[in-house]
Structure formats: C-alpha cells, structure tokens
Amino acid sequence: MPLLSQQFDVIAPDLPGFGDSSKPESGFDKKTIAQRLHELIEALGIERMAIVGHDLGGHVAYAYAAQWPEAVSHFVFVESSLPAFGQEEAMDVSRGGSWHFGFNMAGDISESLVEGREFLFVNHFVRRESVGVFDPDSISNSDIDVYAQALARPGALRCSFSYYRALPRDRQDNVIWGKTPLSMPALSIGGQWGYGAASARTLRRVATNVSDVVIDDCGHYVPEERPVEFAKAVSGFISNETA
C-alpha cells in the first residue's frame, strides 16, 4: 500500500469475516461478497477503479468485474484460480492439489481442529515447500502472529472457512459469467514458486485482453514476499494502459 499510494489512491478493505471486519453468519459466496464491496465503493463515490485480487481475493475481484465491468478500468489477478476454470485441479490431491480445500470445507471439525492453533495453521501455509514463500525471511514470525491473532477472533475461523465452503456456489456463478469474457485490460501476476503461469491460464479463459508476469524467486504470497516487484508490476500495468 505505501508503494502504490505514491501514485494511486489505494483502498484495501478487510473483506467480510477477515481482519477487523464484521463476522456475518452467511453470504460468503463471491457474488455476495463482491456486492458488499460494490456498496462500499459506491458509498465512497467512486465510479471507476482498478481492482486487484490475490488468491481468494482474486475470486472476489472476478465476481466484481463480471458483475460491473463498466466500473472496472483494470483487473489484476494475483496467484489465483477460479472454480469452473482450473480451480478443481488445484483442489484434487490425487493430481498434486492441496488438501486444505477439502479440510476447510469439512464443517465444524475444521474450526475445532484449528482453534487455539492458529499460528501453527498460518505458519504451515506460509512456510510449506510447495506454494509457500521462496525466501523464508520475507515473512517473519511477528508477521504471521498478526494473521494468527486475527484468525483467533470470535467467528473468524468460521468466516475464513466459509469462503471455501461457498466454492460450489461460486462455480455455478462463474459458469454463467464465463459466457461473457471480460474485456477490460487484465493482468495476471504469478510467483515463480507459487502458481507460476497457472493464474494466466485461468485468466485467459475468462478474459480477452490479458497480459501476464511471473515474478522470479517468489512464492505464493507475492505482495508480502516481493512488495517492490509487485507494486511495480501493478503500477506499470495501470499506467501504461491509461496513458
């Protein structure tokens, strides 16, 4: 945010259920999350913007751009995939996908097993060899503790896992939206040791004007691990397209 705010007005809300936001009981399908985000943008009086989404935030950003394409000048898709357009492979452990999708979708048992072990849970995903960080020093234990403390707040685990439990509903929505490819300039940003070029392959299935970049020596958590390179990619994309 400090890097990009030198050139742009930057708004980075905690999505519903995360961080300091409220912990609603329902409405975690990405269509609904995007609608709530749209209400925020309208309340701020913003008519058009560039939207950037990482991981599940990429799901939300796509749902936003698909519903209000005229309000999105640029779409940036970071280390992400989409249900119906490649996500299923990432969820299939028999094909090298990650176990956490099924675990997060399992129901109350997920919260019970992670409660009180939030640091262990977050640290695992940050430090794991596949789709973790490339540089182990790029995210400190103090950084992880911030995320762990947020996840330990009442309702936070339920909300976090609910984003995954809504994936079947998201798939249905994406199938409909995917029939009308996005036409605004779109950029995929991947990490060399994260999703790599996979994000771009997904994006090209739902958008027509796509460029892509893969950041070297970087894992899945691009904004945290390579903030300078990430900000440069976003800034260059938006500036060049609007020039």
The two three-digit tokens of residue 37, written as one number = 């985000």
Cβ atoms within 10 A of the Cβ of 48, count?
Answer: 11
User: According to the model, what pLDDT value does residue 173 have?
Assistant: 98
Beta strands 210-215 and 72-78, pairing class: unpaired
Q: Is the pLDDT of residue 22 over 60?
A: yes
The model's pLDDT over 74-119, given as tens digits with 9 standing for 90+, comes to: 999 999 999 999 999 999 999 989 999 999 999 999 999 999 999 9
CA 12 to chain centre: 12
Predicted model pTM? 0.96
State the residue for tokens 């970049």.
213
Q: Please tell me the distance from the alpha carbon of residue 90 to that of residue 122, in angstroms, as a whole number.
A: 19
CA 66 to chain centre: 16
Q: Is the pLDDT of residue 242 over 50?
A: no
What are residue 4's phi and psi, to 5 degrees? -75, -30
User: According to the model, what pLDDT value does residue 188 have?
Assistant: 98
User: According to the model, what pLDDT value does residue 240 have?
Assistant: 84
State the residue for tokens 């280390």.
79
The model's pLDDT over 48-69, given as tens digits with 9 standing for 90+, comes to: 999 999 999 999 999 999 999 9
SS3 138: coil
Classify residue 28 by its DSSP letter: -
Q: Is the pLDDT of residue 241 over 80?
A: no
Q: In sequence order, what DSSP letters do the residues of 79-131 get, joined into one string? A: S---TTTTHHHHH-GGGT--THHHHHTS-HHHHHHHTT-HHHHHHHHHH-SSS
How far from 13 is each of 6, 32, 86, CA to CA, in Å?
Answer: 18, 15, 27
User: According to the model, what pLDDT value does residue 178 have?
Assistant: 98
Domains of the chain: 4-97+167-242 (3.40.50.1820)
The model's pLDDT over 170-228, given as tens digits with 9 standing for 90+, comes to: 999 999 999 999 999 999 999 999 999 999 999 999 999 999 999 999 999 999 999 99
How far from 156 is each of 13, 20, 40, 127, CA to CA, in Å?
Answer: 16, 10, 21, 22
Q: Please tell me the distance from the alpha carbon of residue 73 to that of residue 237, in angstroms, as a whole number.
A: 11
